[in-house]
Amino acid sequence: MTDKQRPERQRIDVINARGEKVGQSSPQRDAKPSGRAARGAHLSQPANGTRAGRTATMTPPAMPATGAVAANDPHLDQDAMRVHERGASERGRKGRHGKAAAIVVGAVCAIYLGGCALWSHVYMPNTTINGESVAFKTPDAVAKEMSNKLGNYSLSASGDNVSLSLKGKDIDLKSDTSAYAADTMSKVNVWAWPVSIFTGNDLSAKADVSYSKERLDALVKAAVDSANQSATQPQSATATFDEKESKFVVVKEKAGTAVDADAVTKAVRKAILQGKSDLGLGESELVQPKYTSESAELTKAVETANKFVAAKQTLTANGKTVTTVEPKTIAQWITFGDDLSVSLNTDAIKQWASGDLSKSLNTVGTERKYQRADGKQVTVSGGTYGWSVDGDQLASTLASNIEGAKEASFDVPWSQKASEWNPGGADWGGRYLDVDLTEQHVRFYDGGKIIWESDFVSGDPTEDHGTPTGVYSINGNKGTDQTLKGLDENHDGQPDYTSHVNYWMPFITNLVAFHDAPWRSTFGGTVYQGNGSHGCINLPAAAAKQLYDITKVGDVVVVHG
């Protein structure tokens, strides 16, 4: 092979240990190192060419620059060169890849920031406000749509016999729609737009709506008043006395058809704020009962009332039971206030004590029957003597016991008492004056025996001066040496008579009395008919003196026919 036919050899710069270029080298083609060289050992040669000893000196190679080899490396390794070239190529490729990645990151950032800018002024896909889609719309567009809706707004409310239609202009409906739209946009998290455009934004907002409350109230009132003309009012749950159970029980409330104007107004206002065009009215807009069967106030009231009726009262007279105040009677005295407060009606208790109870217990003026000691059966009524209930005191005692839920037994308080408790019979005991108008004879009994008696002349019935019948008693006007002056019945300005008596024993105020009548000579028989007294019991002088001496204030006088 000629020199021209041989391939050109690669020239390599030779660099010394200090990094300086000292020459060029052409490696021998297919040259192989000696055995020692193959083992990595280099023998130092002396300058005169003589062989030195076998000592090997290892010289650490300096790091060559790119494209160069160490100057002290006399042999070139072709494989090492190829590895060197491949490293340079790898570094080039990595550089190109880094630049591409930077370009991608920059593009992504630009897209993200651009999206943030866009969705700050436009609602994202799948975005709703109060359930209505606003996707891809600007706040200004939403504000304009809302303004248009307000301008055309109308509401129809119906139900419960109410019919109400109104328009926005009827109530001067207004709203700051721009602020409303801006407020909703401020709730959007634009930084999360890469996710939100798929998941959506469900926004809720409350429009700052204004309107004339006076106009709205007037419209609602007119509609409700019209509906209520034929409506029925509800009835609250109440408490009533159950005679079978002897206690108060709850009666459930009853619904009505009357409409509550305030409730309707509240519902209409809410519908306007929500932008509704139709509103259905129902049970919640009706006038509700103030109290239901479940109301705590009613439950407490029934409990209190039942404590009252359970406080049974037993009334006695002289140790004998005269009546028992049962739950049925007490229930009539219990009142429930508008606030379901429970109280006793003391006036009702007084009325009962002075009315029904008095009729059953009082003996004053009532008909009484008895058998006189001589066997005569006598019936008498009228008079001022007997038992009489003190209604005020009884009512006070009953109220105190019942309000304290205290069951009690006590003696009836009396404004007046008789000698013994004997309803319908002689309650005056064994000492009394028996004045028999039919016989014109009076007997004074004491312990069943007559201790004094006499004929008399009573009031003249033919002159309408008959002596009143009934049970009475000698009163404190008893006295001697009295001057009697009659009434001015003939209207001449003067007493009809003037008479002097020595013994005066009145039993009907100070008008009707036992007294002596010195102007008379005959007593008993039928003298009283046509020639009787003005109502007094006229006695012979001696008999009058005897009676005056043995009577005392309080002695019972029974006058009968």
Quick check: 29 and 9 in contact, CB under 8 A?
yes
Helix, strand, coil abundance in the chain, percent, nearest 5: 30, 25, 40
Residue type, 103: I
Angle at 371 between CA 370 and CA 376, to 5 degrees: 130
Question: Is 65's pLDDT higher than 80?
Answer: no
**Residue where a domain stops, chosen among 416, 442, 458:** 416
The whole-number average pLDDT for the span 213-236 is: 94
**Residue where a domain stops, chosen among 362, 385, 416:** 416
* C-alpha–C-alpha distance, residues 421 and 360, integer Å: 13
Quick check: 57 and 44 in contact, CB under 8 A?
yes
Q: Give the residue from 453, 461, 443 showing the smallest Cα distance to 533.
A: 461
340 and 394 together in one domain: yes
In-domain check, residue 212: no
Question: Is 70's pLDDT higher than 60?
Answer: no
Question: Is 344's pLDDT higher than 70?
Answer: yes
pLDDT range class, residue 69, cuts 50, 70, 90 = very low
**Whole-number average pLDDT of the chain:** 84
Query: Which H/E stretch holds residue 280?
Result: strand 278-280
pLDDT score for 32:
46
**Residue where a domain stops, chosen among 383, 416, 449:** 416
Catalytic residue among 97, 491, 500, 515: 515
Q: Are strands 154-159 and 278-280 parallel, antiparallel or unpaired?
A: parallel
pLDDT score for 50:
39
In-domain check, residue 117: no
pLDDT range class, residue 39, cuts 50, 70, 90 = very low
* C-alpha–C-alpha distance, residues 494 and 482, integer Å: 18
Q: Which of 45-54, 70-79, 160-169, 196-205 has the lowest mean pLDDT?
A: 45-54
436 and 554 together in one domain: yes
In-domain check, residue 274: no
551 and 437 together in one domain: yes
pLDDT tens column, 408-419: 999 999 999 999
In-domain check, residue 540: yes
CATH number of the structural domain spanning residue 520:
2.40.440.10
Q: Give the residue from 287, 171, 173, 151 showing the smallest Cα distance to 220.
A: 171
pLDDT tens column, 540-558: 999 999 999 999 999 999 9
Number of neighbouring beta carbons within 10 Å of residue 255: 13
Alpha helices in 200-345 (DSSP H): 213-228, 261-273, 296-309, 327-331
441 and 550 together in one domain: yes
482 and 448 together in one domain: yes
The pair of structure tokens assigned to 552 is 């005392």
* C-alpha–C-alpha distance, residues 78 and 17, integer Å: 22
473 and 379 together in one domain: no
Active site residue 536: yes
Question: Is 41's pLDDT higher than 50?
Answer: no
Active site residue 116: no
Quick check: 286 and 257 in contact, CB under 8 A?
yes
Structural domain boundaries enclosing 509:
431-559
Measure Cα distances from 442 to 177, 452, 517, 557, 561 in Å. Answer: 111, 8, 16, 10, 12
pLDDT score for 78:
61
* C-alpha–C-alpha distance, residues 429 and 416, integer Å: 15
* C-alpha–C-alpha distance, residues 436 and 558, integer Å: 8
pLDDT score for 13:
52
pLDDT score for 92:
63
Cα torsion 520, 525, 531, 536 to 10°: value is: 70
Catalytic residue among 109, 116, 536, 560: 536
315 and 399 together in one domain: yes
pLDDT tens column, 376-390: 999 999 999 999 999
Quick check: 32 and 82 in contact, CB under 8 A?
no
pLDDT score for 309:
96
* C-alpha–C-alpha distance, residues 115 and 106, integer Å: 14
Edge-to-edge strand list for the sheet holding 154-159:
162-167, 154-159, 278-280
Q: How many residues does the chain have?
A: 561
Quick check: 196 and 189 in contact, CB under 8 A?
yes
In-domain check, residue 441: yes
The pair of structure tokens assigned to 385 is 């003597």
The whole-number average pLDDT for the span 17-35 is: 48
Q: What percent of the chain has pLDDT over 70?
A: 83
* C-alpha–C-alpha distance, residues 415 and 259, integer Å: 57
324 and 442 together in one domain: no
pLDDT score for 77:
55
530 and 482 together in one domain: yes
pLDDT score for 325:
95
* C-alpha–C-alpha distance, residues 236 and 223, integer Å: 25
Counting runs of H as helices and runs of E as strands, what totals does the chain give?
A: 14, 31
Question: Is 404's pLDDT higher than 70?
Answer: yes
In-domain check, residue 171: no
Question: Is 145's pLDDT higher than 90?
Answer: no
Residue type, 37: A
449 and 539 together in one domain: yes
The whole-number average pLDDT for the span 509-522 is: 96
The whole-number average pLDDT for the span 425-447 is: 97
In-domain check, residue 494: yes
405 and 493 together in one domain: no
pLDDT score for 84:
56
Number of neighbouring beta carbons within 10 Å of residue 440: 21
More confident residue, 67 or 153: 153
Angle at 203 between CA 200 and CA 209, to 5 degrees: 155
Question: Is 183's pLDDT higher than 80?
Answer: no
Number of neighbouring beta carbons within 10 Å of residue 393: 15
335 and 439 together in one domain: no
CATH number of the structural domain spanning residue 404:
3.10.20.800
* Residue 75, helix vs strand vs coil: coil
Using CA of residue 113, residue 114, residue 117, residue 121, what is the dihedral sign? negative
pLDDT score for 8:
47
In-domain check, residue 406: yes
Question: What is the number of structural domains in the chain?
Answer: 2
* Residue 159, helix vs strand vs coil: strand
